[in-house]
Structure 1
Amino acid sequence: MAVGDQNDVYRRLRGYLPRWFPDENQSPVITGLLQGLAYTGAFIYSLLSYARLQTRIKSATDGWLDMIAADFFGSALMRAANQSDDSFRARILINLFRERATRAGLIRVLQDLTGRTPVVIEPTRPVDTGVYGGPLIGYGVAGAYGSMLMPFQAFVTAYRPVGTGIPLVAGYGISTGGYGQPSRASYAALSMIQGGVTDADIYAAIDSIKPVATIVWTRIAQN
């Protein structure tokens, strides 16, 4: 017997009856009436408990999490295919308190999204470009050209996440068979890969972090 279930509510109602009522085994009519009231009360209790969970992000479930994400982020943060409530909740909380409008925030959002660290170069930042007479410039040292004519701009090289492919399906002419394991031939399609990060997701992530009135020139690379 759990708090709020039908048996619990029935015992509570039974406890309010005066002592002159007969035992429950000897009063089937009263017992049936109380069981009916207990069924309704248990349903209402479960409904209230469920509604209370949906009032907080850390306890919300089902479609209520999707509504919370839509309230805060619109269409910028959607539940991935087959994504669990706990996983989606973590994404909502991360994005809700994410550092924005900073270089560190830009790097972090791409790391969280793709699992890979991007290359960020700001033309007006000497640490990125080096300076004459400085420690980050010299013959044979790789770097980038800086320019004071490009304020509030940055160049970002973002990397696509490393994919895992489609299980049991290899490239054309390559067998996936082995001892006790037959080879599987199949045509592959992008629809067979669910939850993948697209280039549009990367662009959207950068746009959600960058400061207003800035330009982030973005290149997306595989390696």
Structure 2
Amino acid sequence: MVDALIQGLASASAFAYALYQYAVLQTRIKTATEGWLDMIAADFFGTALMRSANQSDASFRARIILSLFRERATRNAITRVLTDLTGRAPIIIEPQRPADTGAYGAPNSGYGVAGAYGSILLPFQAFVQAYRPASSGIPYIAGYGSPPGGYSAPSRAAYAALSQSTGAVTDADLYTAVDSVKPIGTIVWMSISS
């Protein structure tokens, strides 16, 4: 009888201690798991940083930490966030920056030469040419003009939808990323191409 009583108290204490250890792990980003990691992201970023479908805790944790310590409010911040998302560096032109637009008598400018026009009438503005990520298509679906696909023949050809593409970065993701790192009070005009 005494053994059962002591064993019951020990089991309850062991459960309480395990729960305490689990709770301690959830108080730090580096050790938080599951829904607690989602709550941490919501606390810091609101709805701007959500877990992707089937994203692991380790991957989501890395995104949270990257977003917390990401460079902001600089030209390089825009370049880095777009390069991280797409793997392709954007072209950024600031109309008031002579390094982007050139100047009369400068070695980096001249009529009939590729480049951008500058203007002092466009303060605190930038033009960003962003690129969508290079895509390999939809897995296991043959494209038009490829040998595995053909009409009236056993093949891997099919009508496809964008929903079949996994892990795609949307245009909205690119706009949101730039908006999250651009300086407050500036206007960034974006053009997105493939």
Q: TM-score of the superposition, structure 2-length normalised?
A: 0.89
Which structure is richer in relative contact order (CA contacts within 8 A, separation 6 or more)? 2
Quote the offset at 1:134 in angstroms: 1.1
Structure with max Cα Rg: 1
Aligned to 1:210: 182
Aligned CA-pair RMSD: 1.9
Amino acid at match of 2:131: Y
CA distance in 2, matches of 1:198, 1:31: 63
Quote the offset at 1:31 in angstroms: 4.0
Quote the offset at 1:36 in angstroms: 3.0
Is the 1:118–1:159 contact (alpha carbons within 8 Å) kept by the matching residues of 2?
Answer: yes
Aligned to 1:57: 29
Aligned to 2:51: 79
Structure 1 gap ranges (5+):
1-28
CA distance in 1, matches of 2:14, 2:82: 47
Quote the offset at 1:113 in angstroms: 1.3
Quote the offset at 1:87 in angstroms: 0.8
Aligned to 2:118: 146
192-201 vs 164-173, which moves further: 164-173
CA distance in 2, matches of 1:184, 1:210: 44
CA distance in 1, matches of 2:119, 2:183: 20
Aligned to 1:125: 97
Amino acid at match of 1:94: L
Q: TM-score of the superposition, structure 1-length normalised?
A: 0.78
- Give aligned pairs, total: 190
Aligned to 2:88: 116
Is the 1:168–1:176 contact (alpha carbons within 8 Å) kept by the matching residues of 2?
Answer: no
Q: 3-state SS of the aligned residue for 2:43?
A: helix
Is the 1:81–1:194 contact (alpha carbons within 8 Å) kept by the matching residues of 2?
Answer: no
Quote the offset at 1:186 in angstroms: 3.6
Q: 3-state SS of the aligned residue for 2:110?
A: coil
Aligned to 1:19: none
Is the 1:175–1:184 contact (alpha carbons within 8 Å) kept by the matching residues of 2?
Answer: no
CA change 1:31–1:118 in 2 (3 A) is same
